[in-house]
Structure 1
Amino acid sequence: MTSKPFAIALPAAVLLALGGCATPGGLPAGQDNFGEAYRQTLQAQIIDPAPEYDTPFGQTSGAQVAGAIERYRTGKVKAPAGSAISSVGRASGGGVSASSSN
């Protein structure tokens, strides 16, 4: 059993609450860049079909690349020449070790 004032007040309150969500005239004031992040992301994903690079690429040999692919497939990859191990983190610290005795 509902009362008549409650049956009228509830829909009126809902309409008033939803009316606060509406924005007359489109965008809220001060938000003329609405959707700018979306447009920037979309533009970043478009690929340039004829890119121009600052530095030219080096020459490659088709026979050399074919040999590298075949070595990769057969598991006989050559080790890179002239690579060195970095010395970062190899120095010992001056702290007390766990195995030192007092």
Structure 2
Amino acid sequence: MNLTISGHHLEVTPALRNYVTTKLDRITRHFEQVVDIKVLLTVEKQKEKERRQRAECRIHVKGNDIFAESAHHDLYAALDELVDKLDRQVCRHKTLVQAHHHEAAKRVM
């Protein structure tokens, strides 16, 4: 699994990198077939009082790409929301991949 964490108008500190990797372990624990994860952390500088922290993540799994984004005043809260969204999408993808709801082929005699 390739993990890329990058920041836009933000320096990715080792503590922040460690927080992201520990949160993303939850997703890899639920679904093992993750090929690539790209995380982009940004700080939007609209006004100095209303600085919005955004977190985006794109997960490439076998046969599909999963994308989620979250924005909050606190970057850690944005990351928590992001991982919750991704976890729901990954669990839904896992159930769709594992679902075999077709009927067996009938024999013609």
Task: Tell me which interval the TM-score lies in, with the shorter structure as reference length.
Answer: under 0.3
Higher strand share: 2
Structure whose alpha-carbon radius of gyration is higher: 1
- Of structures 1 and 2, the one with the larger relative CO (CA 8 A, separation 6+) is 2
